[in-house]
Amino acid sequence: MFKLITSFIEKGFGKTMIVALLIAVVVNAFLCYERKALQVKVQSQQSEIKLLSADNHNLANQVENAQIQILQYQNQVNTLHKNVLAKMKQAEQRNNEILHELANHKHWADGNVPDAISRLLKQRADHSLPTDKTEPANLPNGRSVPTAPVTN
């Protein structure tokens, strides 16, 4: 049976055709293997691209959140600055009122404290900060500027 098939192939194709056919089959097998290897490589690169895209998206979100936190921090600083300036102006005004009243009553040390000075001193005592509270409650604690977590 094998001789019959071999003789049929030799008669129909010839030895060179058989060798050429075998070479074509080997080349075809090699090309199929290469195609499969390239497909695997493309799939791995596509999954890597997806991971990098997700990382970029996360980093963009972190930058946006950091910018929002910086704006909030700047707003808190501006508000605190305005409050400090208002308190300083108020204290300066009270101080000037006391100095004015003291200038009007230069010789009050010999008698009772004048009513105007007593009133100003009482106002000053009523508006002073408590001694147990040294920091405003609305200041951020910890870091001076909010930071985003670092990822590699």
The region of weakest confidence among 47-61, 94-108, 126-140 is 126-140
In a domain, 14, yes or no: yes
Task: Quote the number of domains for the chain.
Answer: 1
In a domain, 117, yes or no: yes
In a domain, 144, yes or no: no
- Max mean pLDDT range (18-27, 35-44, 136-145): 35-44
In a domain, 150, yes or no: no
Distance from C-alpha of 122 to C-alpha of 114, rounded to nearest angstrom: 12
Predicted confidence band of residue 138 (pLDDT cuts 50, 70, 90): low
Distance from C-alpha of 63 to C-alpha of 117, rounded to nearest angstrom: 56
pLDDT at 102: 77
pLDDT at 52: 95
In a domain, 152, yes or no: no
All residues at 6 or more sequence positions from 12 whose CB lies less than 8 Å from its CB, including other chains: none
Q: Which domain holds residue 86?
A: 2-126
**The model's pTM:** 0.46
Q: Which of the two residues, 66 and 136, has the higher pLDDT score?
A: 66
In a domain, 87, yes or no: yes
pLDDT at 10: 63
Task: Please write the tens of the pLDDT for every residue from 10-20.
Answer: 666 666 777 78
pLDDT at 20: 80
pLDDT at 81: 96
Q: Write b or e for each residue in 71-106: b if 16 or more Cβ atoms lie within 10 A of its Cβ, otherwise e.
A: eeeeeeeeeeeeeeeeeeeeeeeeeebbeebeeeee
Q: Please give the share of the chain, as a percent, with pLDDT higher than 90.
A: 46
